Structure 1
Amino acid sequence: MASIVVFLVALPLCIGVAAASGVPVALGIVTGIIGGLIVGFLPGSSLQVSGPAAGLAVLVLEFVSEHGTGMLGPVVLMCGLVQMLLGVLKAGGLFQSISLSVVQGMLAGIGLPLILSQIYAVVDSKQHGTPLTNVGGMPDLVEAVAGSPTKLAALGLGVMAIVLCFVWYKVPKPLNKVPAPLIAVVLGCIIAALPGFEGVKKVEFGNMLEALNFVSPGDMTHIFDPAVIMMIITFTVIASAESLFSAAAVDRMHTGPRTKYNQELFAQGVGNAASGVVGGMPLTAVIVRSAANVNAGARTKLSRILHGVWLLGFGLLLPGLLGLIPITVLAGVLLHAGWKLFNPPAFVKMWKTDRGEGIVMLITTAAIFFANLLEGVLAGLAIAVVLIALRMSHMSIKQTITGDTGRLELRGNATFLRLPRLIEALEAISDRPRVHVDASRLGHLDLACRSQIEEWGEQRKKAGALHVDIRLPGDKSAEVEEMEEVTTAPEEVEVTAELPNVPAGVGAGPGTAATTAQDHASDSYPNGHQAPSASDFTDTLPPTHERSRPYAEAGYQQTMAQGYAHGHPAHGGYARQHPQHYGPPYAYHPGQPHPGYPQPGYAGHPGQAHHPQHTHYQHPAYPPPQGYPIPQPHPQAAMHPQYQQQPPPPYDPNQPPPPPYQGPPPAGGYWGPGDEWAAQSHGEGSRR
């Protein structure tokens, strides 16, 4: 189904482009067949459809008028060979890097002359040639149409075709799925058969096979003519650009495989070479055909191949039907195509989006209109490069004059486009005996600006300046100074503090910073780092007044109840040798640091969370406060025998509990058989 839709769209376009190009209509059909059967079969873009190029119709007409139809084949053949070479060299990406404003200006420059030329064809008149002469002949054309009933009839058919092409998309579905050019051609044929339209010109198709004009070796001798070489270059650039731009547009219309631009460029070259061999027209990928192909539901290249088959069958079997088509209707279809290329709303959008790009677009279109296509594109590219250079060469100059010293600081990119501004800034500080020019932080400094700065510095030295300091990008002195600014370290401040005298048994207990620091000093850290000294804890020393070690309010662990203040011997004895036992021997309120011991690591630790696999016991004299859960054995305690539940420790039932916030009494306490170890580690105050 998609191939039939594309065929119905392509048929009037092939005939119309051929008629507008001044070549036999049959060559338009032949070019469309090559675009379907040869280009359609090759890899590249699977959904875009190639055929005669409406954008090149004006150029082809000018060339044929000057050199004849016989030279068209060699030019198209050479164009195809150059395209194939560009595809092999992977130059397809070059056409993607062209500025969008240049592309749209080029399309507008193609569309505007096409519109002017088809205005003459709509009224069955012969155009004058160039766009300027066509504009100049408009008054005579209006006078000729007003005095000829036949031309008025042709104008009516042409206007009907133009209106249908512009408004057909508003027709309700599914009727609008039928291509508008096909509807215009069918209605035009019907109306042209009515009385009063007998004088309207019809298409002269002839025999398609007889229209073929194979290239001979003698024809190739003329390709070295400068005018012919220029036309080969023009055809190559425009056909390649239009095909790849169309491919990018088609890729945005579907979610299937993306276009391989180098392969597509090679395929277009093969198609043009084949068309040139038989004397055909230059072909490109056409967005009108391609959009119809995608909208009709095509998913593979089969639809574009079959559309070539339908064109071949129609040209061989039903050539007489083509003789019923009015030329004015085809001109109306092409005039609509030219308007889509010209696309006036694009100028408004480009101007609102970016004034600079809008100027590039206008200049490109105007240059094509007043000169020719190739020169206009080159002019647009040149203006686009200048615009980019101006925007990329932004440079800020900070000027400071203090007493006899003038200073310039340059940032950004210094190019020859900013040279006048740089010279003005240098002259502003030339009268100072001491000058400093810091250009070391420029992102780019071209040769023109660098030479200007260096020459100005030499002139200042010769003029007797007391001090001339110029720093350019890459100077080692500037790099060293910048590195010194970045790597300057803050001043080191030595902090010392005197340890307070803490009474034995209190400050020397296991909960103070002093003894903790001493313990750390005697440790051997496994990673080889120096253990911290007591001065490392000077900012967390306890107050000088006496504080006793508090007991846990939420319960304490079995190992502590057995007398091992910092952990069970099965864990290595010392808590500092086992990081999971690093902490105070008693647990405070969960999450609440003790006011007397604010140092890090001694904040409130929940007793039940000291080690996840410990079994905890609650001291009978110290029930947990309201709201604190009683610790339960860890569910994996059975996997570790040393953590399994043990019998309660031997508490003396006659031993009274200690008063609140006081340490163990001298004659008793809750240390177990490890008193000697506790006394050695934490002082005599720990002994029972």
Structure 2
Amino acid sequence: MPWRGEIAASLVVFLVALPLCAGVAIASGAPPELGLVTGIVGGLVAGLLPGSSLQVSGPAAGLTVLVFDAVQRYGLPVLGAIVLAAGLVQLALGALRLGRWFRAISIAVVEGMLAGIGLTIIAGQLYTMAGEKAPGSGLAKLAGLPALLWDGLASPAVAVGAATVACLAGWRFLPRRVRAVPAPLGAVALVTAASWLLAAPVAHLEIAGLLGVVQPPGGDELARLAELGVLGTVAAFALISSAESLFSAAAVDGMHTGPRTDYDKELMAQGAGNTVCGLLGALPMTAVIVRSSANVQAGARTKASRVLHGVWLLLFTAALPGVLGAIPVAALAGVLVHAGWRLIPLRGLVPLWRRHRGEAVVLAATAGAVVALNLFEGVLLGLLLAVVKTAWETSHVHIEVDDRPGAPQIGVALTGSATFLRIPHILGTLEALPPGRPVDLDLSGLRHLDHACRTTLTDWTDRRNTPARLVPDAA
């Protein structure tokens, strides 16, 4: 029966999503129930809509830094208004058929963004393991880690978190029958059982009813959308969650042979989901590669599995919230530390540096900016560097000087693309020519001559004692 496979796949995704939804919410500075609400909406709303058949949506570790910053700046009640506005922006972008353009972004910027997010998540969750409050900035988190780890090595919570990370890292080496259990579920279950048996004095997850945490944004919260800072956060939520969802869709499409993703429809599905999440005051949602890959590997063939995973989340959290209360908070922190580590493309850094050093610089600069500044500014800086790198690489100009003895004039021919980035090189060559002799400046070999470079060349010919000819004009 086809439905049997979809039900089995949905249970696998549910078991992977359960600890991740709660852990992402805690890392974002929000109650764990809000992460579960977002996971439910991801299954029941986004899961029903067309776009991508097999990718799963919910709260994502990649948005943790941005959500945490928004909660700290504007408060949890305003988060719903921000998510609601971001969802409406996504709906508009999808209706304008702009979804496909989210693929036009440098891979180095994407990997740098994920690496910066991973580093920030790891740093922040190590404080959670130790039961300490994390500093506000990414640099402060990193600076405080040596003292934190030194003081907390003997802490039971740190031991619980470290054991969770060790279980996740070593899960792939276990027998195949054991590996049939999703690694996050297995690691959390083992560590939870061990902490219970040993009566470890650690903090546990506190789950209340879902209805108690649902707080639709009111008029005061919606009015704050007129603030410039809030609007910037809305733009960051919309753009980054859209990009992450569509990057995930491209990755999931490579895992199966079924129908391909319609990027515009998928963007609208994400927008509809975030609109509902905003109305419920929940966390933003995005398509997530960990749950999506688990869905594909579990044998899902239709969208039924991702919808059912939302049903299981709703039933489980509504009927058995006490079970979640047995999970140590440090165990969820360990899951997120491991997830953050997997966001850092360590294996590809050395080959990238050897083959494409410019891309490696963009990646490292983006990651550093995300840690030092914030997610939005870091990505903007990365995009700017990627554009400058591309402009530099495509703006190659070759200058050939013909200065034969006894010739009546000096011949200078430019070929390639002459842009403002190459002005120092061009001027350096021209100003080194012997003074007092006529110059034939041939620009016919140029593919492109921008306004800045043309103006510079015109000024140079005007300043030179002997006039030079510009023949012919280059477009």
Q: TM-score, normalised by structure 1?
A: 0.66
> 1: CA distance between counterparts of 2:436 and 2:262?
62
Please name the residue that 1:666 is paired with: none
Matches within 5 A, 1:318-337: 318-337=320-339
Is 1:253 aligned to residue 237 of structure 2?
Answer: no
Please name the residue that 1:521 is paired with: none
Is 1:422 aligned to residue 429 of structure 2?
Answer: no
Q: Is the 8 A contact 2:436 2:466 kept in 1?
A: no
> 2: CA distance between counterparts of 1:267 and 1:316?
25
DSSP 3-state at the match of 1:174? helix
Is 1:393 aligned to residue 400 of structure 2?
Answer: no
Is 1:83 aligned to residue 90 of structure 2?
Answer: yes
- Post-superposition offset of 1:353: 2.4
DSSP 3-state at the match of 2:210? coil
Q: Is the 8 A contact 1:441 1:473 kept in 2?
A: no
RMSD over aligned CA atoms reads 1.7
Matches within 5 A, 1:91-240: 91-146=98-153, 152-197=155-200, 199-240=201-242
> 1: CA distance between counterparts of 2:71 and 2:461?
63
> 1: CA distance between counterparts of 2:115 and 2:140?
18
* Residues 392-418 of structure 1 deviation map (CA, whole Å, 9 limit, x = unaligned): 110111101122320011111111111
Matches within 5 A, 1:362-381: 362-381=364-383
- Post-superposition offset of 1:196: 4.0
Is 1:4 aligned to residue 11 of structure 2?
Answer: yes
- Post-superposition offset of 1:376: 0.8
> 2: CA distance between counterparts of 1:7 and 1:265?
23
Please name the residue that 2:442 is paired with: 438
Please name the residue that 1:470 is paired with: 470
Whichever residue aligns with residue 445 of structure 2, its letter is: R
> 2: CA distance between counterparts of 1:445 and 1:390?
14
- Structure 1 residues 219, 451: closer, same or farther in 2, change over 3 A? closer
Whichever residue aligns with residue 41 of structure 2, its letter is: I
Please name the residue that 1:526 is paired with: none
Matches within 5 A, 1:445-594: 445-460=449-464, 463=465, 468-473=468-473
Which blocks of at least 5 consecutive residues in structure 1 are unaligned? Answer: 476-688
Higher helix share: 2
> 1: CA distance between counterparts of 2:28 and 2:466?
74
- Post-superposition offset of 1:381: 0.8
> 1: CA distance between counterparts of 2:262 and 2:38?
23
> 2: CA distance between counterparts of 1:55 and 1:380?
16
Higher relative contact order (CA 8 A, sep 6+): 2
Q: Is the 8 A contact 2:90 2:267 kept in 1?
A: yes
Q: Is the 8 A contact 1:124 1:327 kept in 2?
A: no
Which of 267, 284, 291 is the matching residue for 1:289? 291
Please name the residue that 1:65 is paired with: 72
* Residues 87-142 of structure 1 deviation map (CA, whole Å, 9 limit, x = unaligned): 11112122211111111101111111000011112223322222222223224423
Q: Is the 8 A contact 1:406 1:432 kept in 2?
A: no
> 1: CA distance between counterparts of 2:286 and 2:320?
26
* Residues 5-46 of structure 1 deviation map (CA, whole Å, 9 limit, x = unaligned): 100100010111111112111111111000001000011111
Is 1:262 aligned to residue 264 of structure 2?
Answer: yes
- Post-superposition offset of 1:260: 1.0
Whichever residue aligns with residue 426 of structure 1, its letter is: L
Which of 31, 36, 39 is the matching residue for 1:29? 36
DSSP 3-state at the match of 1:193? helix
Please name the residue that 1:314 is paired with: 316
> 2: CA distance between counterparts of 1:144 and 1:158?
15
Bigger Cα displacement from structure 2, 431-440 vs 352-361 = 431-440
* Residues 176-204 of structure 1 deviation map (CA, whole Å, 9 limit, x = unaligned): 1210110011112211212341x211100
Whichever residue aligns with residue 449 of structure 1, its letter is: C
- Post-superposition offset of 1:366: 0.8
* Residues 411-463 of structure 1 deviation map (CA, whole Å, 9 limit, x = unaligned): 11111111122222323445253321111121111112222333434445xx3
> 1: CA distance between counterparts of 2:271 and 2:285?
9
DSSP 3-state at the match of 2:215? coil
DSSP 3-state at the match of 2:457? helix
Which blocks of at least 5 consecutive residues in structure 2 are unaligned? Answer: 1-7
